[in-house]
Amino acid sequence: MKHWNALAAIAVAVACLSTPAHADKLDDIISSGTLRCAVVLDFPPMGSRDADNNPIGFDVDYCNDLAKALGVTAEIVETPFPERIPALMSGQVDVGVASTSDTLERAKTVGFSVPYFAFEMVVTASDKSGIKSFDDMKGKTVGATAGTFEAIALEKQVTEWGAGEFRPYQTQADVFLALSQGQLDATVSTSTVAQANVKTGNYPGIAVVGKAPFDIDYVALFTNRDEYGFINYLNLFVNQQVRTGRYAELFEKWVGGEVPSLTVPNAYR
């Protein structure tokens, strides 16, 4: 009899645990007092580490701004590119501020805000490879960061060319390391990241050689698909960042140059 009581208690406990909670995510974040952001930290200038190995970058500041707006403290959770969305889905983070392209395939799994940043894709090549444009990459060994917009597009392109080799690396840093070591001939990455990496001087013998003919890569904040309240909040937050000039300010601080437009001409979002 005692066993049955224990079993019943366990069953009740399991049932409680598995019943979805009805307080929404926005409430949860505000009441918990911390906002956990997934940020990619080998992706300068969007995310990287300073000399004391503390997180810095556009995405880090963006997360801090969001936390301030919510009146909570921000916690930066470093996630490699392929782990961004699994980290959200498994509840390790509340929101992704991780330069994530808002593809339709991904929107089947997570909910995206309106775009908060836009990238152009460029080709970065090692000097030795003799690559001067996107089309020169045909037949060469090229790579990109696994699971990113550009990796998916580039892999498709290599398959179409039917020549050369495509290698996905786990992190953006590994891609540039491989490129500077001569393991890769060229890579396609976002222009901001390519410029920032070339500028550091950490990777001798590589240069940005031209644009890649991929679409502009709009990136958005993401959270769970069914958290409409929170997604609404994120949309308004992105809008406010632009309206108040904070977006331009952060862009000047981390990237510099002409601030990219976040709207698509002739279409509503």
Partner 1 sequence: MFSYKFQWNQAFARLPQMLDGALITMQIAILSMVLGILLAIVLTVFRRSGSRVLSGIATSWVEIARNTPALFQIYMAHFGVATFGIHFNPFTSLLIGITFNNAGYLAENFRGALKAIPETQTRAGRSLGMTSNQAFGYIMLPQMLRIAFLPMTNQMVWAILMTSLGVTVGMSTDLYGVTQALNALTFRTFELFALAGVVFYVIVKLIQFAARLIAMRLFRY
Partner 2 sequence: MFDTALTSSDFLFLARGAGMTLLVTAISVVLGTCLGIACGIFRFQVGPWWAAPMTFLLDIFRSIPLLIQLVLVNAFLGMVLKLKISGFSVACGVLTLYTAAYCAEIVRGAIEAVPGTTRRAARSLGLTWWQDMTSIVLPLATRVALPSWIGLALGVMKDSALVYIVQVTELLKATQILITRLQEPLLLLMICGLFYFVISFPLARLGGYLERRWSND
Q: Which residues bind partner 1 (CB under 8 A)?
A: 18, 20, 82, 85-86, 89-90, 105-106, 108-110, 141, 143, 146-148, 151-152, 165-170, 174, 177-178, 181-183
Q: Is 20 among the residues that bind partner 2 (CB under 8 A)?
A: yes
Question: Taking CB within 5 to 8 Å according to partner kind, which of partner 1, partner 2, none is near residue 48?
Answer: partner 2
Residue 198: other Cβ atoms inside 10 A: 16
Q: Looking at 50-58, 114-122, 161-169, 255-263, which segment touches partner 2 (CB under 8 A)?
A: 50-58
Element spanning 224, H or E = strand 217-224
Element spanning 219, H or E = strand 217-224
Residue ranges in 101-160 that form contacts with partner 2 under rule CB under 8 A: none
Instruction: Pick between residue 67 and residue 219 the one whose CB is nearest to partner 1.
Output: 219
| CA–CA distance, 173 with 43 (Å, rounded to integer) | 7
Residue 175 structure tokens: 């891609």
The DSSP bridge partners found for residue 124 are 187, 208
Least gap, CB of 81 to partner 1 (angstroms): 8
Instruction: Pick between residue 48 and residue 189 the one whose CB is nearest to partner 2.
Output: 48
Q: Is 60 among the residues that bind partner 2 (CB under 8 A)?
A: no
Q: Which residues bind partner 2 (CB under 8 A)?
A: 17-18, 20-21, 41-42, 48-49, 51-53, 77-79, 83, 86-87, 89-92, 171, 173, 177, 180, 202-203
